[in-house]
Amino acid sequence: MNLQTKILIPLIIVFTLMSGVVIWINFSNQKNFVETVIDAQATQTAYQYFDSVNTMMITGTMDNREILRHKLMENKNILDAHIVRSESVKKLFGPGFPYESSKDELDERALKGEIVKVITEDKHGRSLTVLVPFKASTNYRGTNCIECHQVADGTVLGAARIQFSLAEVDAHVKENATYVGKMLIGLFLFALVVVVFFLRVVAVNKLKKFHRSMEYIAQQLDLTQTLSEKSSSDEISKMANAFDHMMETIRSSLGQVKSSTEQIVQGSDEISRYTNETISDIREQKEETANVAMTLGKMTESSRNVANNTHQSQEFTNNVEAEVSDGAEKAFSAREKINNLYKQIEMVAQIAEKLEQETVQISSTVKVIDDITLKTKLLSFNASVEAARAGEHGKSFSVVANEIGDLSNQTKQSNLEIEKATVQLKTLMQEAVAVIRETKTLAEEGKNEVNVSYDSFKNVSSEMAKLKEVMTNIARSTQEQSEATKEVEKNINSIMELSNKTTTASERIGEVSGDFSSLANHLDELINKFKI
């Protein structure tokens, strides 16, 4: 594979990756932008649709709401548009059209008050479904919903459902991505042609010329050849100048080597004399090294025992830390459960107090009813007296007055029973509130005790972590000391081996030094072959 190919392949790979990333980012950004725009458009359409239906309801033209729906669906991108009725609306105004009833999970979520936005995909492409719930309010854009619907403020009356097709915009996004890809490929092909041209003119031709010159130097051993070009100052020309400088240095070095060869022969005799002295010194060093190795062996054994004891202590510390951590987790879990129990008891206490208040309200209401019953009975009595005065003309009125009196007596009896039950309920509620308050106090004490236990576990865990760190440092230091001792022992053994080898080598040096003279003469012959 030539240099041009090695340069072009990475360029092609880098451009391909960059093009893919650019196309993907462009496609994703356009797709996200389109989804955002369609989302806002569909949501606005849903609000407008409901406002139109609300206007029709106020003006009494709700029977024509199907015309409004068909008008919306004349837009080719709107696949579905309808109002989903809640149960409260169905009870007052009926179920409406079949499509106005909840038909899937999305409708149910919207009827619970959630704004639903979902993108789905089928054989026709992607589509965005938006459901906007509408709640009863005393002032919904100037309209009092509660007057007609008779529900509590905030009750979900229904939801507007709009399904918007994304197939057309997706097609435009894909078309834009394809166009961008074609543009990038075209630009790359143009850039590739330009790069190939400049590579061939600027680099490849010069490198071929340099290759031919260096082959000639290798075959003819002619170190006087030069590669430099005076007309150019690019990196390849600088490399040629550096090569010429190197060749000049080699020529100078070969001249120095030639003069040094003669000195080598003279030095060989001195080498033999120094070699004998070195052999004597090495033998003495070998004996001293053996004594040091014996002492280090004992030190290594002691370090090994310390390391084993430290390792056992570290394992014990890890086990204790694991137990403490487990205890801390259980204490934390107990604290969370106690806190949850305390919150639940507090909620029950609040509910019980409200029930107690409601019981008092019932008693007040019963007294009001009792007063009304007494007044009704008095009115019945007066009516009977007036009927008796009227004679024959007042008989029918007397019967009605007697019936009212009987009803008044029955109401009074019922009020007495209700009052009796209310008194019993109030007594029970007071007892329940007292028990709940006592339970709340006990739960709060339990919560405080669990918090104290959890804090204690945290402190113990923190101290165990510090102890573990200390033990780890001790183990690390012991291990490092043991390894250092082993390394020293290993070095001493190596020194002993080297001493043996050095002794043998020194003896061999004496033999080799005799060959230096012949080698120097041969080296001089080789240098004379070069043209310098």
Model-wide pTM > 0.85: no
H/E element, 125: strand 125-135
CATH of the domain at 113: 3.30.450
Whole-angstrom distance, CA of residue 484 vs CA of residue 488: 6
State how far the Cα of 87 lies from the Cα of 93, in Å rounded to an integer.
Answer: 10
**Structural domain count, the chain:** 2
Tens digit of each residue's pLDDT (9 = 90 or more) over 149-158 = 777 888 888 8
Q: Say if 504 falls within a structural domain.
A: no
- State percent of the chain over pLDDT 70: 67
- Residue 266, domain member (yes or no): no
263 assigned to some structural domain: no
Nearest to 145 by CA among 192, 188, 110, 93: 93
Among 184, 201, 218, identify where a domain stops: 184
CATH number at residue 329: 1.10.287.950
**Which percentage of the chain shows pLDDT scores above 90?**
3
Residue 426, domain member (yes or no): yes
**What is the mean pLDDT of the segment spanning 67-72?**
87
User: Cβ–Cβ contacts within 10 Å for residue 110, how many?
Assistant: 24
Residues 326 and 458 in one domain: yes
Confidence grade of residue 469 (pLDDT, cut at 50, 70, 90): confident
pLDDT tens readout for residues 103-129: 889 989 988 889 999 998 888 889 999
Q: Which residue has the higher pLDDT, 165 or 446?
A: 165
Is 26 a member of any domain? yes
Whether the CB-CB separation of 426 and 359 falls below 8 Å is answered with: yes
Among the three residues 152, 184, 216, which one is the final residue of a domain in this structure?
184
> pLDDT at position 372, please?
76
> Last residue of some domain: 184, 211, 243?
184
Residue 180 has pLDDT above 60, yes or no: yes
Mean pLDDT of 487-504: 72
pLDDT value, residue 131: 92
3-state helix, strand and coil shares in percent for the chain, rounded to the nearest 5: 80, 10, 10
| Per-chain mean pLDDT for the chain | 75
Boundaries of domain holding 482: 306-490
Task: Name residues whose C-beta falls within 8 Å of residue 239's C-beta, 6 or more positions apart in sequence.
Answer: 210
- Asked if residue 71 belongs to a domain, the reply is yes
User: What are the phi and psi torsion angles at 117 (to 5°)?
Assistant: -135, 115
- Is there a single domain that holds both residue 312 and residue 163? no
- 219 within domain boundaries: no
